[in-house]
Structure 1
């Protein structure tokens, strides 16, 4: 078997390889979250999910339906997050000027400030872990992650800015 990059892949994915892969992902996710989540909770009273909601709104996901799809969240859960973020003064909700049936989301000035602070904290924490890799290892890791879990259009790791609902 040949991978998209032209390299030979293991002929047999053994149970051991699959368990090592899943275990490694779980440990990495836990380690990264342990480095970031206490800081987010202490300084900003937020968690990673709410951070990704703020990040997606800042990237232009201005409507709840589009935001839910981009983040892969059930609308009911997203609604709770938006209510909390609105009460915290980080997200503004307005009736859309072109269609009064829709709600348009924006970050408030406080939301922009909090997001900038969180981005600095996340970058600092994550950079420590990623700096353990040389540039070749980092590019290979990113390539593997992107191959196994392609970003949804407009999702958290996508750079597109979806303004209008589909």
Structure 2
């Protein structure tokens, strides 16, 4: 049985709003920096996850990035149409479709790194290194459960 109070609910809701706002602010700043590259922060996240072998399937990406599978499929459709990713049927499991970053995708990542090398760090400039490490650890704990 939970002993949560109204105050606990309000504090948790406030934290959720703040986390959402922080994510939206950083994403908007990254999107603005990447405008000339023609990539947005969500597309860059997908390309980076694939290039780092953090996920290799649409469902893996949608779980990792907390994106609805249907939205992930549409995002991958756009990236594939632009030649940035390639989908191929798995050789070991014909039910699985593997997704890889093409050379054009790697080139796009490099352009993004040049266009916005420190964009998220602008907001972190007020933090000390230990605070950044603590923030990363706490966010990781929140995300990983």
The yes-or-no answer on 1:65 pairing with 2:80 is no
Say which one has the larger Rg.
Answer: 1
Q: Distance in 2 between matches of 1:88 and 1:137?
A: 39
Task: Find runs of 4+ consecutive structure 1 residues off by over 4 angstroms.
Answer: 17-20
The structure that is helix-richer by fraction is 2
Which residues of structure 2 form unaligned runs of 5+? Answer: 1-6
What do you get for the CA RMSD once the two structures are aligned?
2.6
How far the C-alpha of 1:19 sits from its partner, in A, is: 6.0
1:157 is aligned to none
TM-score by length of 2: 0.75
Deviations 1:40-85 (A, max 9, x none): 2x22323222222112211222222322332233332221111110
Give the SS at the match of 1:149.
helix
How far the C-alpha of 1:38 sits from its partner, in A, is: 1.7
Question: Which of 19, 25, 28 is the aligned partner of 1:25?
Answer: 19
Which is bigger in relative contact order (C-alpha 8 A, separation at least 6)? 1
TM-score by length of 1: 0.67
Which residues of structure 1 form unaligned runs of 5+? Answer: 1-11, 152-166
How far the C-alpha of 1:129 sits from its partner, in A, is: 1.8
The yes-or-no answer on 1:53 pairing with 2:53 is no
8 Å contact from structure 1 (residues 63, 104) kept in 2: yes
1:36 is aligned to 30
Q: Distance in 1 between matches of 2:102 and 2:18?
A: 38
Q: How many residues align?
A: 138
How far the C-alpha of 1:20 sits from its partner, in A, is: 5.2
- Give 1:3-14 correspondences, 5 Å limit: 13=8
Give the SS at the match of 2:88.
strand
Question: Which of 54, 60, 70 is the aligned partner of 1:76?
Answer: 70
Change (3 A) 1:133 1:84: same
Q: Distance in 1 between matches of 2:125 and 2:109?
A: 23
